[in-house]
A and B are shown apart, each in its own frame.
Chain A
């Protein structure tokens, strides 16, 4: 609450000079005025949306929705729930689905599409996305699933992205100790060794997350995969055309192990990795004295900082790009990310208009001016980002040589939300690389 308000007021000051109408106090952009967006008049119609955002985030998405309401006269009801994944399945099967469902992962959307629970979007949106999004075709592919007859259709509109390849740190702590932000993975390892030599602990790493324990470790694995092998191999790995116990995957796992299994590298020792809540681990950056100097986590993590991310806007905390290996120069600067996918679960004219609305830059810029929102949309005015830190993340996303979606979200549920999580957890607890890789591969063989 505190953070978002602060960001909002900053945003309105920043954007005044750039031709974007002030957006503050919930007053929508001038471009949202009735009829202004050319979406049509839907007065009296209601669009219901179910999604994963709650609490503060719910207010942020409602500000975007307000724009659509003002422009079209329609009423939009957003209902957020932490149990979104379970609720949407029940609702779709019971015939009480909302008009739009916002999926945090493509896997569930694909499952519902195969059941016939989703309504295909207008086909031209897929083409539009390929053209107007950075790494557009991969975003369009992300929303394309087989329907109940096995036919590929375009179902889900990617809106709101996360960048995962970030390492968080405190600039002043680095400055005090005389450390430089590393440009290559080799430098990052050297820096870690330097911190150990100076008597500190380089990394805060926690992968505990209740039933989803291990996902943080899978993100590490994916980021390292993109830095040790080609994007084509990454895609094959996602579909298991590259076996989990192949040398490429095991090499990436060894790199992760060299950090996560190193008692000197991680705060609390390697034993504590599996039992530390992922949201508590970044707090170690901010204790006095700090428990660690660096934390690799996605763009959403400032929500878990002690001041809920205010540290970032005040310059107390910052991030750098999780660097590539200098020894693999042809892999460029790969970026791992995620995003939410908006799909239609109940068709109506106003709902179709809402997807037209999501194509417009204003739908992106309103959330950009708040917090926690990145977009691969190339047509938006990046000065709308609420602060430099968000803009920097947006640029990492837009400037990626290679963008790949979180692999575990794309793998079948039994692997990506099952064996991959549990085996990586066992790996951090001391299980060796070969056993871990073999176990995941045999779990995959079992579901083929």
Chain B
């Protein structure tokens, strides 16, 4: 009983470690920039008092009423209207409008706590009164000639969520393009190594040929080769292949006054690199599984006259689905989330999602609110892949762990 409770507690902690940042990202991505800057995501579901600086109208809104001059307006509505007009003019997506009630206000941004709504304070020799709903009245004895004045206001803001960050992320089409690019890179880079590794694993398990064990040891030893070491040689190899291709095109006269340069950085380079780097683990995992399929099955199939290809396609492949699927998930996640390989070996014009997301926040990494939304978009795809394949995954994790399993 005690052990079970402890286990549950530990699991709960682990789940929290994963879920809290996820919820934080989701909540933050749906908040306005101002709110996200000023309060933590955990406060997004309650009302918050947030300080704003509002500019009042200036002398051009002045009206004479009897022997006084008055400027009237509503700080909240005026600001919302201005923001909406700005966004419409720039073709940009507006932040959610400001809502809520004035709690306190003051004559300058430095001092937002001077007065309660309904009270009157002195601003530039005028009597300024601000109501809780944002209506203000600014009364002068003499004609006022200056522009607006910035006042500090604390507003109690109810929870506000909006899709503006997602709309902005998708607005220029680059995220959509890179989503497609990511699929173009990830799907072949997952399918190719799984296919090759399945063949290789079958051969290592059920074919007898000289040097089999040594070869297998060599393949497994390749697991320890660090990816980073290989970048420069691999890239220079791709570049020389691309140069040959360019020269060949030139020799065949295919360029028609264009440069015959072919870039060494391409999608096919990414497929090759991911396949090569994924294969050792794939072969190792799949061989352990396939080697443990019941020998009697394979033997009897062979007695019935089945060729190796028939045994592989009709018997081994269907039986290995759990192992194939779980390795597929690994490889998919790895390629989908990969930034480094795509950055160095991938094409510099057609970018995959992680690179595009990184670029979105700008040279000075100053547009984090965009990052929140697009990072969430990039997380959704692996989640779908994982959830739809997870029943294989759980079985596949045990692949090869039990003799005959």
Contact = CB atoms under 8 A, between A and B. Distances in A.
A55 interface: yes
Contacts of B232: 90, 93-94
A20 B261 CA distance: 37
Interface residues of B, number: 54
Nearest to B348: A79
Contact of A306 (B33, B261, B355): B33
Nearest to A43: B257
B265 interface: yes
B362 A290 contact: no
A51 to B, nearest CB: 9
A52 B365 CA distance: 12
Contact of B240 (A43, A95, A288): A95
Interface residues of A, number: 50
B363 interface: yes
Nearest to B367: A55
Given A82-B363, A83-B343, 10 more contacts: A55-B367, A81-B343, A91-B235, A94-B236, A94-B239, A96-B264, A283-B37, A289-B109, A289-B110, A289-B113
A303 B92 CA distance: 17
B259 interface: yes
16 contacts: A2-B86, A6-B90, A55-B359, A82-B365, A91-B235, A93-B232, A94-B235, A172-B109, A176-B109, A279-B364, A283-B37, A288-B112, A289-B51, A303-B364, A304-B364, A304-B366
Interface in B69-105: 86-87, 90-92
Contact of A96 (B33, B150, B236): B236
A57 B349 contact: no
A55 B363 contact: yes
A55 B263 CA distance: 23
Contacts of B113: 289
A200 interface: yes
Interface in A125-141: none
Contacts of A56: 362-363
A53 B33 contact: no
A58 B359 CA distance: 9
A1 B92 contact: yes
Contacts of A44: 257-259
A82 B110 contact: no
B160 interface: no
Contact of B90 (A2, A57, A288): A2
Contacts of A5: 90-92
A287 B38 contact: yes
Contact of A176 (B107, B235, B258, B361): B107
B180 to A, nearest CB: 19
Interface string A269-289: 000000000010001001111
Contact of A279 (B150, B233, B263, B365): B365
A50 B348 contact: yes
B111 interface: yes
A300 B364 contact: yes
Interface of B: 33-34, 37-38, 51-53, 86-87, 90-92, 107-113, 149-150, 152-154, 231-233, 235-236, 238-240, 257-259, 261, 263-265, 343-344, 348-349, 355, 358-367
Contacts of A98: 348
Nearest to B240: A95
Interface in A202-244: none
B43 to A, nearest CB: 16
B152 A79 contact: no
Given A287-B38, A306-B34, A173 B359 contact: no
Contacts of A82: 358-359, 363, 365
A290 B362 CA distance: 26
A153 interface: no
A146 to B, nearest CB: 24
A31 B256 CA distance: 29
B259 A45 contact: yes
B272 to A, nearest CB: 15
A406 to B, nearest CB: 16
A80 interface: yes
A177 interface: yes
Given A46-B259, A93-B232, A172-B109, A52 B90 contact: no
A79 B349 contact: yes
Contact of A173 (B34, B38, B109, B239): B109
Given A54-B363, A279-B366, A283-B37, A77 B110 contact: no
Interface in A73-108: 77, 79-83, 87, 90-91, 93-96, 98
A50 B261 CA distance: 17
Interface string A239-264: 00000000000000000000000000
B235 A287 contact: no
Contact of B153 (A93, A286, A288): A288
Contacts of B111: 289
